[in-house]
Amino acid sequence: MSIDATFHKANALIIDSNANARSLITAQLRELGCGFVRSVARVKEARIVLENAPYDLVLCDYHFDGSDESGQDLLDELRREGLLPYATVFMMITAEATYAKVAEAAEAALDGYLIKPYTLASLAERIQTARHRKRILKGIFEAIEAQEFEKAAGLCLERFHARAEFWLFAARIGAELLLRLRRYDEAKELYEAIVAAKTLPWAKLGVARADLGKGNLSQARRTLENLIGESPDFADSHDVLGRVHMEQGDIAEALATYRSAAELTPGCLMRGQRAGTLAFYNGERAEALRLLERTMINGLRSKLFDLFTVVMIALMRFDKRDAKGVRQTLDTMANELERVPNSARIQRLKLVIESLVAMQERRSADALTAARELARDLQRDNADHESASLVVAVWIRLAAGDMQLEEMDDLILSIGMRFCTAKAATEILVAMCEKNEKAAATLRECHGKIFEIAETAMKLSMRGQPDHSVQLLIQEGSTTRNTKLIDMALSVLKRHQAKIDNAGPMEAEITVLQDRYVRPQQVASNRARAVGGLALRGAGASG
| Final residue in a domain of this structure, among 181, 196, 216 | 216
- Please state the domain count of the chain: 3
Lateral strand order in the sheet of 112-115? 36-40, 11-15, 57-61, 89-94, 112-115
Encoded amino acid at 531, one letter: V
pLDDT at 523: 57
pLDDT at 158: 95
Q: What percent of the chain has pLDDT over 70?
A: 92
Average pLDDT over residues 274-291: 96
pLDDT over 90 at 107, yes or no: no
Residue 275's nearest CA partner among 294, 298, 303, 300 is 294
Residues 22 and 105 placed together within one structural domain of the fold:
yes
Rounded Cα distance, 477 and 228, in Å: 40
pLDDT over 80 at 43, yes or no: yes
Average pLDDT over residues 35-61: 91
Task: Tell me whether residue 459 is exposed, middle or buried, using C-beta atoms within 10 angstroms of its C-beta: 0 to 12, 13 to 18, 19 or more.
Answer: exposed
Q: Is residue 273 part of a domain?
A: no
Q: Is residue 94 part of a domain?
A: yes
pLDDT over 90 at 408, yes or no: yes
Residues 65 and 162 placed together within one structural domain of the fold:
no
- Mean pLDDT computed over every residue of the chain: 89
Residue 520's nearest CA partner among 317, 368, 345, 380 is 380
pLDDT at 455: 97
pLDDT at 101: 53
Rounded Cα distance, 88 and 205, in Å: 25
Task: Tell me whether residue 154 is exposed, middle or buried, using C-beta atoms within 10 angstroms of its C-beta: 0 to 12, 13 to 18, 19 or more.
Answer: middle
pLDDT over 70 at 82, yes or no: yes
pLDDT at 2: 66
In this structure, the strands spanning 36-40 and 57-61 are unpaired
Q: If you write DSSP's letter for every residue of 3-30 in order, what string do you get?
A: S-TTGGG-EEEEE-S-HHHHHHHHHHHH
pLDDT at 217: 93
pLDDT at 481: 97
Average pLDDT over residues 410-433: 97
Residues 14 and 126 placed together within one structural domain of the fold:
yes
Total number of residues shown for the chain: 543
Residues 131 and 152 placed together within one structural domain of the fold:
no
pLDDT at 529: 44
Residues 505 and 454 placed together within one structural domain of the fold:
yes
Instruction: Grade residue 525 by pLDDT with cuts at 50, 70 and 90.
Output: low
Residues 132 and 42 placed together within one structural domain of the fold:
yes
pLDDT over 50 at 46, yes or no: yes
Average pLDDT over residues 272-281: 96
Rounded Cα distance, 293 and 287, in Å: 10
pLDDT over 60 at 366, yes or no: yes
In this structure, the strands spanning 36-40 and 89-94 are unpaired
Residues 157 and 113 placed together within one structural domain of the fold:
no
| Helix (H) or strand (E) run with residue 219 in it | helix 217-230
pLDDT digits (tens, 9 = 90+) for 446-488: 999 999 999 999 999 999 999 999 999 999 999 999 999 999 9
In which domain, by residue range, is 459 found?
Answer: 449-526
Q: Give the CATH number of the domain where residue 125 resides.
A: 3.40.50.2300
Q: Is residue 362 part of a domain?
A: no
As beta bridge partners, residue 13 has 38, 58
Residues 69 and 154 placed together within one structural domain of the fold:
no
Average pLDDT over residues 267-293: 94
Rounded Cα distance, 341 and 334, in Å: 9
pLDDT at 288: 97
3-class state of residue 294 by DSSP: helix
Q: How far is CA 201 from CA 105, 172, 196, 205, 248, in A?
A: 9, 12, 12, 6, 24
Q: How far is CA 498 from CA 467, 470, 494, 501, in A?
A: 11, 13, 9, 8
pLDDT at 444: 98
Residues 6+ apart with CB under 8 A from 500: 466, 467, 470, 493, 506
pLDDT over 80 at 250, yes or no: yes
Q: How far is CA 371 from CA 31, 362, 374, 390, 431, in A?
A: 62, 14, 5, 10, 19
pLDDT at 531: 52
pLDDT over 90 at 95, yes or no: no
Q: Is residue 151 part of a domain?
A: yes
pTM across the whole model:
0.78
Residues 126 and 175 placed together within one structural domain of the fold:
no
pLDDT at 536: 52
pLDDT over 70 at 239, yes or no: yes
Contact 300, 332 (CB under 8 A): yes
Which of 231-235, 372-376, 430-434 has the lowest average pLDDT? Answer: 231-235
Q: Is residue 300 part of a domain?
A: no
| Final residue in a domain of this structure, among 87, 110, 136 | 136
Average pLDDT over residues 334-350: 96
Q: Is residue 222 part of a domain?
A: no
Residues 30 and 100 placed together within one structural domain of the fold:
yes
Average pLDDT over residues 491-510: 93
pLDDT digits (tens, 9 = 90+) for 428-440: 999 999 999 999 9
Contact 445, 416 (CB under 8 A): yes
Contact 26, 57 (CB under 8 A): no
Q: What percent of the chain has pLDDT over 90?
A: 66
Residues 48 and 127 placed together within one structural domain of the fold:
yes
Q: Is residue 429 part of a domain?
A: no
| Final residue in a domain of this structure, among 216, 232, 261 | 216
pLDDT at 183: 93
Residues 6+ apart with CB under 8 A from 30: 37
Average pLDDT over residues 401-417: 92
Supply φ then ψ for residue 37, to 5 degrees.
Answer: -130, 130
Instruction: Grade residue 527 by pLDDT with cuts at 50, 70 and 90.
Output: very low
Q: Is residue 381 part of a domain?
A: no
Residues 120 and 163 placed together within one structural domain of the fold:
no
Sign of the CA dihedral running 187, 192, 196, 201? positive
